[in-house]
Amino acid sequence: MISRFCFNISIYESLKNIFNIFMFKKKNFEPDLKKELSRFYGNQNFYFFDYGRTAFFEILCEIKKNTKKRKILVNSLTLFEVINVIIYSGFIPIFVDNKRNSFDTEIDLNDFKTELDQIAGIVVTHLNGVNNNIIELENQIQEHSKNYEKIYLIEDCAVALGAQINGKRVGMFGDFAFLSFNIVKNITSYTGGALIDNKKNIEIEKTKYRELSRTDILKKIIFVFIIQVLNTKLIFPIFFQLIKYSHKYSFNFLLKKYRTDFEVKIENNFPRRFCFFMHDWQKKILLNQFKNLETKQIRRIAKSKIYFDSLKEIKSLNFPQNEFNEKNIFLEFPIICNQNDTKEKLFEYLLDKKIDVKNYYYKNCSEEKIYNSNHSICLNSKKISENILMLPVHERINNDYQLQIVDLIKDFFNR
């Protein structure tokens, strides 16, 4: 059995890091980290925080200084914390649907003619690596801004580091972009995020943020180390059974711990626990991972293509792209079932066969009552959110195991 979790930092490295954090001698690694990111995004301004959502918050605070408009267009299919940050910043989220069975958004300024003088910015979420609609959207914004107050374009590249559209890296189309380096990403600092300022306009008010202590970082490492232990060959079969029965009998207590998106919450203000700059030690371990980043991405893309080529003829399945795009970034490979009951049966079937897959991705935030949205529910985003399964493509998935997954899915639909 192989867990769907595989972090870019090994259990051995986490164990070393528990001791190394107290031996770390403070040094400024920021210039070297900026140099590495410049290979992807050019000579932009980069700012580093303990969370990607903090970078997004800082972007919105900057926009708020420059406009009195208060509406932000945003993909409904996104991490709910993205919506929370929009609200924390004093803006109103306006949910926009995805295209049918696609990770491309349907944002079109022609659909918002009566609201254009209220729209401060647009957030384009690069789910699974790309969102081709951003090219047309960028052109629409440029035309609008010739005669009217500027609309800011923000790219959510949390799962898209290195992805390209027409030879251009995502993150370079908008005014701003933000990245995430949390533990499930291709490079990680346990937590972490970066702000990309393409227009070089932002000046960070440093008094708003604090520096992490060594104890703060130690807590992060220990938390991840525990998860890694649970996912070892010896312990994971037992842990897997707990997860399996939690799904089967709706043991929500355990599922809440296992799934970060299980319960949508919002606080009164931007939480202080996110108000930290990235520590120099985090920058150092990020730098160590860049040398293997592109190789690991190539391997994930190759595994994703095997899934696509092997499963694309199954009529009951859809994929967020009609043709395979090797410029995408795949942290996992998404398949979308035609019906929710099909998805649930396939998920249970794979669990019974001891295959660990993820039965969720991002939420359809437009239907979350906590946001009190006056707009209609985004039905395409709703279908994707309810009917998606994410197949593993990490480095522990070998060819034989992947073909086993493919054969089981084919067997399910052939029965």
254 band by pLDDT with thresholds 50, 70 and 90: low
Share of the chain above pLDDT 90, in %: 68
120 band by pLDDT with thresholds 50, 70 and 90: very high
Q: Residues 56-75: what's their mean pLDDT? A: 95
What's the CA gap between 409 and 350, in Å, rounded? 8
CA proximity to 209, closest of 404, 364, 49, 3: 49
Q: Residue 408 falls within a domain, yes or no?
A: yes
Query: Of 211, 245, 277, which residue is a domain's last?
Result: 211
Contacts of 290 (CB under 8 A, 6+ apart): 36, 187
Asked if 119 and 252 sit in the same domain, the reply is: no
Q: What is the pLDDT of residue 258?
A: 64
CA proximity to 355, closest of 260, 243, 257, 276: 243
Number of domains in the chain: 2
Asked if 176 and 229 sit in the same domain, the reply is: no
Evaluate if residue 48 carries a pLDDT over 90.
yes
Evaluate if residue 114 carries a pLDDT over 90.
no
Q: What is the pLDDT of residue 78?
A: 94
Q: What is the pLDDT of residue 373?
A: 66
Asked if 180 and 312 sit in the same domain, the reply is: no
Task: Estimate to the nearest angstrom the gap between the alpha carbon of 345 and the chain centroid.
Answer: 26
98 band by pLDDT with thresholds 50, 70 and 90: very high
Asked if 109 and 167 sit in the same domain, the reply is: yes
Asked if 54 and 194 sit in the same domain, the reply is: yes
Query: Of 192, 211, 230, which residue is a domain's last?
Result: 211
Q: Residue 284 falls within a domain, yes or no?
A: no
Q: Residue 282 falls within a domain, yes or no?
A: no
Q: Residue 196 falls within a domain, yes or no?
A: yes
What's the CA gap between 43 and 23, in Å, rounded? 33
Mean pLDDT lowest among 299-313, 364-378, 390-404: 364-378
Asked if 354 and 228 sit in the same domain, the reply is: yes
Q: Residue 5 falls within a domain, yes or no?
A: no
In the numeric block, which tokens belong to residue 37?
A: 């990111």
pLDDT in tens, 375-390: 689 999 999 999 999 9
Task: Estimate to the nearest angstrom the gap between the alpha carbon of 59 and the chain centroid.
Answer: 17
Evaluate if residue 130 carries a pLDDT over 90.
no
* Helix runs in 117-209, H state only: 134-147
> If you search the block for the tokens 């709706």, which residue do you land on?
250
Contacts of 202 (CB under 8 A, 6+ apart): 45, 47, 58, 59, 62, 176, 195
Positive or negative, the CA dihedral 365, 371, 372, 374 is negative
Q: How many C-alpha atoms does 8 have within 13 Å on its Cβ side? A: 26
Asked if 58 and 141 sit in the same domain, the reply is: yes
321 band by pLDDT with thresholds 50, 70 and 90: confident
Asked if 255 and 190 sit in the same domain, the reply is: no
Amino acid at 234: L
Q: Residue 6 falls within a domain, yes or no?
A: no
Query: Of 211, 234, 257, which residue is a domain's last?
Result: 211
Q: Residue 17 falls within a domain, yes or no?
A: no
CATH number at residue 348: 3.90.1150.10
Dihedrals φ, ψ of 120, to 5°? -85, -35
CA proximity to 181, closest of 270, 281, 261, 258: 281
User: For residue 360, what is the DSSP state?
Assistant: -
Of residues 127 and 85, more confidence is placed in 85
Q: What is the pLDDT of residue 106?
A: 86
Q: Residues 205-231: what's their mean pLDDT? A: 92
Report yes or no: 158 and 81 within 8 Å, Cβ to Cβ: no
138 band by pLDDT with thresholds 50, 70 and 90: very high
Q: Residues 5-21: what's their mean pLDDT? A: 90
Evaluate if residue 256 carries a pLDDT over 70.
no
Asked if 141 and 160 sit in the same domain, the reply is: yes
Evaluate if residue 65 carries a pLDDT over 80.
yes
Question: Which strands, in side-by-side order, build the sheet including 92-96?
Answer: 92-96, 71-75, 119-125, 152-156, 176-180, 193-197, 45-49, 276-277, 210-211
In the numeric block, which tokens belong to residue 250?
A: 């709706």
Q: How many distinct helices (H) and strands (E) make up the chain?
A: 13, 16
Mean pLDDT of the chain: 91
Mean pLDDT lowest among 56-70, 322-336, 382-396: 322-336
Asked if 120 and 77 sit in the same domain, the reply is: yes
Q: Residue 270 falls within a domain, yes or no?
A: no
Domain of 244, in residue numbers: 219-265+291-414
Report yes or no: 161 and 187 within 8 Å, Cβ to Cβ: yes
Evaluate if residue 63 carries a pLDDT over 90.
yes
Residue 308 burial by CB count (10 A; 0-12/13-18/19+): exposed, middle or buried?
middle
Q: What is the pLDDT of residue 249?
A: 75
CATH number at residue 80: 3.40.640.10
Evaluate if residue 306 carries a pLDDT over 70.
yes
pLDDT in tens, 145-189: 888 999 999 999 999 998 999 889 999 999 999 999 999 898 999
Q: What is the pLDDT of residue 260?
A: 65
Dihedrals φ, ψ of 121, to 5°? -160, 165
In the numeric block, which tokens belong to residue 375?
A: 């707009």
Asked if 224 and 341 sit in the same domain, the reply is: yes
> If you search the block for the tokens 């949910």, which residue do you land on?
95
Asked if 71 and 89 sit in the same domain, the reply is: yes
